[in-house]
Chain A
Amino acid sequence: MGLKALDYETLNENVKKVQYAVRGELYLRASELQKEGKKIIFTNVGNPHALGQKPLTFPRQVVALCQAPFLLDDPNVGLLFPADALARAKHYLSLTSGGLGAYSDSRGIPGVRKEVAEFIERRDGYPSNPELIFLTDGASKGVMQILNCIIRGQGDGILVPVPQYPLYSATISLLGGSLVPYYLEETANWGLDINNLRESVAQARFKGITVRAMVIINPGNPTGQCLSEANLREILNFCYQENLVLLGDEVYQQNIYQDERPFISARKVLMDMGPPISKEVQLVSFHTVSKGYWGECGQRGGYFEMTNLPPQTVDEIYKIASIALSPNVPAQIFMGLMVNPLKPGDISYEQFVRESQGILESLRRRARIMTDGFNSCKNVVCNFTEGAMYSFPQIRLPPKAIEAAKKAGKVPDVFYCLKLLEATGISTVPGSGFGQKDGVFHLRTTILPAEEDMPAIMSSFKKFNDEFMNQYEDNWNHSRM
């Protein structure tokens, strides 16, 4: 008998092509070393609670009560839970159709989607329609659903920033589409140049690709830059002229570490631009409970909001959502709590503000510590982390190091990151996992390790890096940009 159905040779080729470095080679090696007893600092994924960040108290109290509603009937429940948590739990339970254990509407609980719409309106100053907001098991699932609608085959191209969060490249691969890269400019603080965009689109079209959508990640991952209003206008104009759907990954909108460019949503700018653009450009915006100062990655809670999509398309997207029956209900409650936070006067308000501000201010400090720390290292140049959760320093590898990497059969930044891991236990993701210009190398680390551990981590990194550079340098030559 010949090959069996799940022999390697007969696997779906699209699956084989998929790469997802965030949990790829470096992570697997780090896990091995951890099993052997080595202390590993995992900075490979934006996973705040794994590095000691505590969950916010109030949402956990509310969800615990929703989980065990019999508590609400117990006369002593007030000894364990504040009154506003009890009230909120009752509120969310009343919005469900049978508690946490029932499938909700496939688009998510209507009452929660209404709260999301209200949040968007407060944030942007424009009304939002709950019928166009779908809750999902994490923003990633939403991205996959939307890309699945857009990509018909290899001939369909999606504009993706380079460097990018590899969910996009992996999903496009899986769906059999074409990734059309547009390069962010490292020397201009990872800025976006419209001319680069135009060129990328022209090249793709020349190859016979129909460019259908453009992804922006704002704030950026791994690059952290926050787009300016002018930038967003340029992008929206571009999408209008080129007939592209704009996919706005805005999951880091709470993570802003400078004051010059606060977060502005793509939707707000679109609406500000008025007709005809505001009525024509198709936009899908994504958000999550995994990032921000919430960091509730393990809940898998997210949403997408659709703007200017025709009703029939919305129906088809609804249909696909219904096959998965419904997003998980506890995460929907987390989403409700996130978009509908406590107000001054609420019993738990002060604690909530204290916890949230504490986290955000610390992240801001850590963004600075890391950037400065990397910039103090030999042959390392690092843009400031304006937002999101990552630092993406450029590592200028000497030619001898690149040679050694080749000999070891490794991509140069993988080689560097593996050595870094073995020497210091710091587990990063090589820049090649995100895409970068040819011959330019980076690594991505998160800014999430505890503040008190940061100095030791940065000095451990510096020691390794400077020794590495000294080892491989020859007459001060180093890789050009």
Chain B
Amino acid sequence: MAPPVTVNTINPKVIECEYAVRGEIVILAQKLQDEIKIKLEAHPFEEILYCNIGNPQSLGQQPITFFREVLALCDHPPLLDKSETQGLFSKDSIQRARKILDQIPGRATGAYSHSQGIKGLRDTIAAGIEARDGFPADPNDIFLTDGASPAVHMMMQLLIRSEKDGILCPIPQYPLYSASIALHGGTLVPYYLDEATGWGLEVSDLKKQLEAAKSKGIDVRALVVINPGNPTGQVLAEENQKEIVKFCKEEGLVLLADEVYQENVYVRKKKFHSFKKVSRSMGYDEKDIHLVSFQSVSKGYYGECGKRGGYMEITGFGADVREHIYKLASVNLCSNISGQILASLVMSPPKAGDESYESYISERDGILSSLARRAKTLEDAFNKLEGVTCNKAEGAMYLFPRINLPEKAIKAAGEAKTAPDAFYCRRLLTETGIVFVPGSGFRQVPGTWHFRCTILPQEEKIPAVVTRLTDFHKRFMNEFRD
């Protein structure tokens, strides 16, 4: 008798979903890395350069000292009773830890909290949102989650009843969305960002895709907007955002605003505006628009991916729906407490006058300016490659250059049974140790090829990345030139 859990008998939605960020190329990279550990000469490079994933601290970015001080004190509160602690921790981190512990029932950081997250921390986050936007936020609208991703899953679960339910997603997109929609059995309705205009978003295209989906019998329920964009890095202009908000209101769509890169903006002429702020500034309130805004501790200048901290702020939903959202959150009891604390710190960092303010600002600005420099260096490097064009990274952590692959290469890829961009990325990996994610993992206009590269390798490693990439690219184009 066949065993019950084989690939032929597991949930087909599991088989269907894909997540390229940690997909085939990355698995191969890990294999090669293991081989190098055993024998240094195993490959024509000494180390793997992971440019596939927005994981800053794995590539040497340092955490913000103040945040870690507070977290350590909350992890081990007896430290606060010892006089030696004053010599090892800043005064304001001690104060903040005390304040946070007072907000936790019984000062018990090891206890399950309220399923939406500790109330006092949500108050802090709401105040942080208000300070950022100039419009009030309600702590009861906030659900703290183990990173932003579980919150996205929750919303997909709520919205998707069957494959007849569609979610509008940007192409290219961060593949959490396609994977989550597939897992929940829904339909991804693509809208194409315009590469020629810096990955612009046209509401006319949104409308076109919406109508096309409707005519196929799809009930389109929500619109995902990633701002700043991933993998595309564009920061939306405020006017554009207003158009999007108006569109959602008119079409009755839930606006799912992925804003995890809100602190990663590298161009002076652009600024991050939350969709909440934009909606409220248009005079729209709870009655006018369903809006879910996602934030995370993984990105920005804090880069605390491993902590799994984040939240969603939900506005415009009736009490009956909110009850069900709460219920869903309660099945998992609560998100990890340390991540909750970190989310509150990210939304209310040290202020001018605080003891840690100077060092905090210096750390923050150091990281952000370095990210901006790396973004520029890599963008320029890509634009110098034959057949490659690369839009500016206005924000986020990625570059998404387009590569015009010669016919010969496309044919070779076909013979190897891989997508052409995956073919290029695989060769790049095996010859240089550099790990990019093929654009097909993010989807792209059919017939175009891209790859995503993070801007995260440490600044001193960037020249090596550029050199190796440039040399490889020359060889590749020579081999496959038509």
Contacts and interface: CB of A to CB of B under 8 A. Distances in A.
Interface string A44-71: 0101111010010100110111011111
Interface string A271-298: 0000000001010000000100001111
A8 B53 contact: no
A297 B3 contact: no
A297 B333 CA distance: 9
Contacts of B157: 12, 14-15, 174
Interface string B299-322: 000011111100000001110110
B3 A100 contact: no
A282 B63 contact: no
Nearest to B2: A243
Nearest to A326: B306
B5 A150 contact: yes
Contact of A52 (B56, B106, B221): B106
Nearest to B252: A4
A52 B4 CA distance: 44
Contacts of B111: 47-50, 297-298
A313 to B, nearest CB: 5
Q: With a 10 A CB-CB cut-off, give which of A3, A103, A328 has the most chain B CB atoms.
A: A103
Contacts of A131: none
A319 B24 CA distance: 10
Given A300-B335, A323-B17, A103 B4 contact: no
Interface in A70-110: 70-71, 74, 76-77, 79-80, 96-104, 106
A464 B119 CA distance: 32
B58 interface: yes
Q: With a 10 A CB-CB cut-off, give which of B7, B57, B58, B333 has the most chain A CB atoms.
A: B333
Interface stretch (B68-76, B225-233, B238-246, B422-430): B68-76
B38 interface: no
B305 A101 contact: yes
A23 B147 CA distance: 22
A63 B110 CA distance: 12
A80 B42 CA distance: 46
Contacts of B419: none
A322 interface: yes
A308 interface: yes
A18 B329 CA distance: 11
A49 B108 CA distance: 6
A65 B330 CA distance: 31
A68 B69 contact: yes
Contact of B53 (A103, A148, A174): A103
B408 interface: no
B237 interface: no
A100 B320 CA distance: 38
B110 A322 contact: no
Interface residues of B, number: 96
Q: How large is the interface on A (under 10, 10 to 19, 20 to 34, 35 or more residues)?
A: 35 or more
A67 B55 contact: no
B57 A328 contact: no
B310 to A, nearest CB: 11
Q: With a 10 A CB-CB cut-off, give which of B7, B110, B337, B338 has the most chain A CB atoms.
A: B110
Contacts of B88: 71, 74, 76-77, 80
A212 B221 contact: no
Contacts of A339: none
A138 B332 contact: yes
Contacts of A67: 68, 71-72, 75, 338
Contacts of B150: 324
Contacts of B11: 148-152
Given A64-B73, A296-B110, A150 B10 contact: yes
B4 A300 contact: no
A187 interface: no
Q: With a 10 A CB-CB cut-off, give which of A15, A96, A150, A298 has the most chain B CB atoms.
A: A298
Contacts of B12: 152
Interface in A316-368: 316, 319-320, 322-331
B321 A101 contact: no
Interface of A: 1-8, 10-16, 18-20, 22-24, 45, 47-50, 52, 55, 57, 60-61, 63-65, 67-71, 74, 76-77, 79-80, 96-104, 106, 137-138, 140-141, 144, 148-152, 167, 170-171, 174, 212-213, 243-245, 280, 282, 290, 295-300, 308-310, 312-313, 316, 319-320, 322-331
Which 3 residue pairs of A and B lie closest in terms of their CB atoms, listed nearest first?
A329-B306, A102-B58, A298-B337
Given A68-B71, A299-B110, 16 more contacts: A1-B252, A15-B324, A60-B76, A64-B75, A68-B68, A68-B72, A74-B88, A97-B58, A103-B305, A150-B10, A244-B4, A297-B110, A316-B15, A319-B18, A324-B150, A330-B75
